[in-house]
Structure 1
Amino acid sequence: MRRALVVLLAVGFGGLGTLALASAPRAATTTTAATATTTPSTARGRSMFVASCASCHGQDARGVRGRGPSLVGVGALAADFELRTGRMPLAAPHQEPMRHHPAFSGARIADLVAYIGSLGGPPVPVVSGGSVRRGHERFADSCAGCHQIVGRGGIATGAVAPALQDATPVQVAEAVRLGPYLMPRFGPRQLTDGDVADLAAYVTYTRHLQNPGGWAIGNLGPVPEGLVCWGIAMVLLLGAARSLGERAR
């Protein structure tokens, strides 16, 4: 009886030891896999670049004449903006980049940004704080001529100035420093980092505007508002003219 009890205890402890040994490597593997998934990799970014970007930007990222510019020195800032706003990759080299759903997942974008960033250039900016009031002043001075005073977009010479309601504060800062497509580039001498934070705060504010005056007509500005007013006025004037004419009879 004692011998049987000893055998059962030995088997039980042996099984527990086996389970412990089997579970330890799996936990380590899971942790490693999770870390590898969340940490950007320049090696993976390089592989993705060769597969998806090299046809326009070259195997060495120094550009291809007539197809795409060099990316050496543009930094993580440019790559992050173009990829996260879906402006890249383009269907045709001379097409105007427009905001679309990103072509790659967040993790793949992070890898590509890490690779392009390794070629030199400014990092992804960090934006915090900012004053809506000062941002409104900066926006009126530097941005409203193309994007309209509440960021609903417009038509510029040779391009379309996009609406800004989907832009994150970081993307606003990236666009200011990058100057995508025909947009002018603003350096720290023109707009300080504090000015950029103010702009980002104002652009974020324009997403949910209050309209105490009533019907905003999409916040598209004075031209459509004037057209609507003229349309209503014409209907009222025609009605008044017809009423007076009938009375004259």
Structure 2
Amino acid sequence: MTSDTPARRRARVFSRRRSAPSRARRRLGAAVRMLAALVLAGGVYTAFAPGAFADDDVQLSAAAQEGKALFDNSCISCHGRDGQGVDERGPSLIGVGAASVEFQVSTGRMPMTRQEAQAEEKPPQFNDDQTRQLAQYVQEIGGGPQVPDGPLTVDLEKDPDALARGGELFRVNCTSCHGFGGGGGALSSGKFAPSLHDATERQIYAAMLSGPQNMPVFGDNQLTPEQKRQIITYIETQLQEDKDPGGLFNLGRYGPSTEGMAIFLVGITILVFTSLWIAGKS
């Protein structure tokens, strides 16, 4: 057995003294690397992530400044400062875009008097200019979809086939809720699809972009801007100008199919009663 000489004991003590600082340095280095990684991740997120909140220092345009004054007077109690939202009162408006504001405000659905299954259409509280100003303010503080500039319908003299394409797109995408005649219809849980007979072209376009209530969002990857214009052209020229899609009578604006069914039922009823009358006389 090897004897434990004083030299070996001094060597072990020296080795322990060297190893202790080494472990401390490793732990300190790991902590520094972790902190650097967290700082780097936070910096990357701050630089590239989309804004999750409104910027207090954002420079507003003149229209948005007017909209902010209207917002602070009429909307802030439910939607909060800078559109951040208020719990159990109103949602955040960050990211909803000007299109949503234009639809909700121009149709009188907002300001909302109380929480219901669906916001009812009412006479608007703001005129067109004020509505655009509110929409511009929400757009500049949070971004989101907005109604494009320029005409929102198709010039049928230049593209006469656009009406037929718009009718086909309307039947495929809209009739399941709004009906073939655009008169609206009932949905589940007390909700309903509103009538399109009084809707303006901006309201229809904004609704397709924002998807209010139960309506799906029709982004440009679902319906291109040109297809949206074709649908609006069909609604305005065929459903809002009191033109029936065929037939002699306005039976739900479904065309001759409902009239044929009505004539069939009435005719069968007359034949039955006529047969009974003849049988009774004989």
- The alignment of Structure 1 onto Structure 2 pairs a total of residues equal to 210
Residue deviations 1:10-57, cap 9 Å, x none? xxxxxxxxxxxxxxxxxxxxxxxxxxxxx9632332122122111211
Q: State yes or no: 1:157 paired with 2:188.
A: yes
Give the Cα–Cα distance (whole angstroms) in 2 for the partners of residues 40 and 213 of structure 1: 52
Q: 2:274 maps to what in 1?
A: 240
Matched residue SS, 2:146: coil
Give the Cα–Cα distance (whole angstroms) in 2 for the partners of residues 222 and 234 of structure 1: 18
RMSD of the alignment, in Å? 2.6
CA change 1:177–1:51 in 2 (3 A) is: same
Match of 1:138 among 169, 180, 184: 169
Q: Structure 1 counterpart of 2:250, which letter?
A: A
Deviation at 1:246, TM superposition (A): 3.5
Deviation at 1:162, TM superposition (A): 1.0
| Structure 2 gap ranges (5+) | 1-60, 156-161
Q: 1:125 maps to what in 2?
A: 148
Matched residue SS, 1:43: helix
Q: State yes or no: 1:207 paired with 2:240.
A: yes
Q: State yes or no: 1:63 paired with 2:85.
A: yes
Give the Cα–Cα distance (whole angstroms) in 1 for the partners of residues 113 and 129 of structure 2: 22
CA change 1:214–1:105 in 2 (3 A) is: same
User: Does structure 2 retain, via aligned residues, the 8 Å contact 1:68–1:93?
Assistant: no
Deviation at 1:218, TM superposition (A): 3.9
Runs of 4 or more above 6 Å deviation: 221-224
CA change 1:96–1:241 in 2 (3 A) is: same
| Structure 1 gap ranges (5+) | 1-38
CA change 1:226–1:67 in 2 (3 A) is: farther
CA change 1:238–1:180 in 2 (3 A) is: same
Overall identity of the aligned pairs, in %: 33
Match of 2:126 among 104, 118, 124: 104
Matched residue SS, 2:274: helix
CA change 1:212–1:200 in 2 (3 A) is: closer
Deviation at 1:211, TM superposition (A): 5.1
Give the Cα–Cα distance (whole angstroms) in 2 for the partners of residues 90 and 234 of structure 1: 50
Deviation at 1:227, TM superposition (A): 7.5
User: Does structure 2 retain, via aligned residues, the 8 Å contact 1:125–1:170?
Assistant: no
Deviation at 1:133, TM superposition (A): 0.6
Q: State yes or no: 1:178 paired with 2:201.
A: no
Give the Cα–Cα distance (whole angstroms) in 2 for the partners of residues 242 and 221 of structure 1: 33
